[in-house]
Amino acid sequence: MDAFNLLKADHRKVEELFSQLESASGQAKMRVFEQIKMELELHTHIEEKIFYPALEKPKQTHDLTLEAYEEHDVVKKLLREMSKAKSANEEWEAQAKVLQENVEHHVEEEENELFPKAEAALSEEQIEALGEQMETEKERKQRGATKSSSKKKSAGANKSASKSKSASTAPKKARASKKSGSKSSAGSKRSKKSAKKSRR
């Protein structure tokens, strides 16, 4: 796969999610944000791990690549801040707008400046190889993300199961202790009676 086509496809997907975010409300908005966060984290990861290192060396792409790293840092910081919120309040909405503007600016700069210069600096074979590497890495990360989310779900299910087990055994224990308590009290009553008889 061509490296530029892969990254452009990511850009279009995030643009579509941002338009969904604008029209969504309440918890639906937070769910769309989670998708945006996941897509951006994947995208920045493959760019920083594979694509940008290949563009740092050529002189014509060096400065733009360093700038791109900085722009990624701004986006990551915003994503971290926004992830702390439980609901979309006014402050969160403002941050979402800033995030969208930052991403749009970054995409525009990449597609109109960095990509054409990178295309001139790299061979077709390099562009194809970078694309394949990024695609493989993306799939690997996605598999890891689904595994960890399913682990969390099963861990949560196990916790609730153990809670319900302990809750169901608790009354039994209580009943058992009551029975043994009543037995011991009956025993003590009998011993008192026998003590009275012996005194007589």
CA torsion sign for 67, 73, 76, 82 is: negative
Higher pLDDT pick, 200 / 81: 81
The Cα 32–Cα 148 span in angstroms is 20
Tokens representing 170 are 């608790």
Instruction: Report how far residue 43's alpha carbon sits from residue 37's, in angstroms, rounded to the nearest whole number.
Output: 10
3-class DSSP state for residue 134?
helix
Cβ atoms 92, 24 nearer than 8 A: no
Cβ proximity of 26 and 85 under 8 Å? no
Q: Looking at the predicted structure, is the pLDDT value of residue 85 above 60?
A: yes
In this predicted structure, the answer to whether residue 27 has a pLDDT above a threshold of 70 is yes
- pLDDT tens, 39-48? 999 999 999 9
Q: What number is the average pLDDT over the span 170-191?
A: 49
pLDDT exceeds cutoff 50 at 193 = no
Of the chain, the percentage scoring pLDDT greater than 70 comes to 74
Question: What one-character DSSP code corresponds to residue 86?
Answer: S
Residue 139 CB contacts under 8 Å (≥ 6 apart), including other chains: none
> Which positions ≥6 away from 134 have C-beta within 8 Å?
1, 3, 6, 7, 46, 47, 50, 51
Domain boundaries, the chain: 3-149
Which of 77 and 167 is assigned the larger pLDDT?
77
User: Which pLDDT belongs to residue 7?
Assistant: 97
Q: Which of 110, 115, 74, 72 is nearest to 95 (CA)?
A: 74
In this structure, the number of other CB atoms found within 10 A of the CB of residue 145 comes to 13
pTM value > 0.75: no
Query: Looking at residue 142, what is its pLDDT?
Result: 87
Q: Which residue in the block uniquely carries the two structure tokens 């997907």?
A: 13
Mean pLDDT for the chain? Answer: 84
pLDDT-based confidence at residue 162 (cuts at 50, 70, 90) = low
| pLDDT exceeds 80 at position 111 | yes
CA-CA distance, 109 to 64, in Å (whole number)? 9
Classify domain 3-149 by CATH architecture: Up-down Bundle (1.20)
- What are the structure tokens assigned to 89, written together? 């309040």
